[in-house]
Amino acid sequence: MDNTLKALRNGIEQNVICSACETEFRLGSTDSRSLQDYSRLDVGFTTIGVQVWCRRHNTNVVHIDFEGQKPAADFRCIQFVI
């Protein structure tokens, strides 16, 4: 694959999860088949950076402060038609 498209592939090495969702899932108090299916996370830009918010528990999961920097972001997407 062309290196200019490499950043558009799923390269997630560690998921961001809500600790309350994880606890509920691990205790078996949900009928979800995976923690990914159980989680209800919103991700978006804020005045300081990027925030991940758990809709299920109405709480912050992580808020990343860019410290005034404007990092590069790639919003292109690839959709494969089968």
Least confident of 9-23, 30-44, 68-82: 68-82
Tens-place pLDDT, residues 3-35: 778 888 888 999 999 999 999 999 999 999 999
List Cβ neighbours of 6 (8 Å cut-off, separation of 6 or more): none
DSSP state of 47: S
Query: Whose CA is closest to 38, among 30, 48, 28?
Result: 30
Tokens 């790639």, located at residue: 74
